[in-house]
Chains A and B, each alone.
Chain A
Amino acid sequence: DAKTTQPPSMDCAEGRAANLPCNHSTISGNEYVYWYRQIHSQGPQYIIHGLKNNETNEMASLIITEDRKSSTLILPHATLRDTAVYYCISPNAGNMLTFGGGTRLMVKP
């Protein structure tokens, strides 16, 4: 079973920041949080991952709460091409990635 929960859908205006929340209250202290996105009929694309500290790369920022029970993926300037399903995931035992429903982000002009 997925250890994360996300809202099923979100809208964002083009050019604005998209903030996608994820709850992962049951993950243990050494389990990473990964974010992927999937555009229709393609394989999931890696975005970012983190353990305790906030992370930033060329695609996004990841803010993890101090208690590690939740995190937020931030796309600083969303474009139409960012429309996709975003998955927040934490590996299970055996390093398996089990996907939940994800958040369908719709970026609107």
Chain B
Amino acid sequence: GAVVSQHPSRVICKSGTSVKIECRSLDFQATTMFWYRQFPKQSLMLMATSNEGSKATYEQGVEKDKFLINHASLTLSTLTVASAHPEDSSFYICSATRDGNYGYTFGSGTRLTVV
């Protein structure tokens, strides 16, 4: 079945530094990738949608200059949290799809803690 690898699974960084999270589709080409954020005891909140080779589409209220998304190939998307602050601490999850009708596969998530 379709597999999405997300790395790292856990990261602790100092306030003001940047953190990059990678999302790879291992056995299929992902035309579209999605990034979510999840706070404790809450549901997943869609942050942005990215298509290979084009700029990401951000949801309302998500700062594109802070959450930089690059979807350079059909198998890799990255999310960079720029100048992270403690309020950016959260669980970040990526998802990839070849085509909506083929389903959506999620990564295992990245626990970001900014100290």
Chain A residues engaging chain B, CB cutoff 8 angstroms = 32, 34, 36, 38, 41-46, 49, 87, 91, 94-102
Of B61-69, B78-86, B104-112, the one contacting chain A is B104-112
Chain B residues bordering chain A, tally (CB within 8 A): 26
Please give the distance in Å from B109's CB to the nearest CB on chain A: 5
Q: Which of B57, B99, B106 contacts A44 (CB 8 A)?
A: B106
Instruction: Determine whether B49 belongs to the interface, using a CB cutoff of 8 Å to chain A.
Output: yes
Instruction: Determine whether B54 belongs to the interface, using a CB cutoff of 8 Å to chain A.
Output: no
Q: With contacts A34-B103, A42-B109 known, is A96 near B49, CB below 8 A?
A: yes
Please give the distance in Å from B87's CB to the nearest CB on chain A: 20
Please give the distance in Å from A30's CB to the nearest CB on chain B: 9
Q: With contacts A41-B109, A43-B109, A44-B93 known, is A99 near B104, CB below 8 A?
A: no
24 contacts between A and B (CB under 8 A): A32-B101, A36-B106, A38-B44, A42-B108, A43-B93, A43-B106, A43-B108, A44-B93, A45-B106, A46-B104, A46-B105, A46-B106, A49-B103, A94-B32, A95-B97, A95-B100, A96-B34, A96-B49, A97-B34, A97-B46, A97-B95, A99-B36, A99-B43, A99-B44
Question: Which of chain B's residues have a CB closer than 8 A to the CB of A42?
Answer: 108-109
Identify the closest chain B residue to A94 (Cβ): B49
What does DSSP make chain A's interface, helix, strand, loop or mixed?
loop
Q: Which 9 A-B pairs have the closest CB atoms?
A: A95-B100, A43-B106, A99-B44, A44-B106, A99-B43, A43-B108, A43-B109, A91-B100, A43-B93
User: Apart from A34-B104, A98-B46, A99-B45, what are 15 other A-B pairs with CB-CB below 8 Å?
Assistant: A41-B91, A41-B111, A42-B108, A43-B93, A43-B106, A43-B107, A43-B109, A44-B44, A49-B103, A91-B100, A94-B49, A95-B32, A96-B46, A97-B104, A101-B43
Instruction: Determine whether B77 belongs to the interface, using a CB cutoff of 8 Å to chain A.
Output: no
Question: Which of chain B's residues have a CB closer than 8 A to the CB of A95?
Answer: 32, 97, 99-100
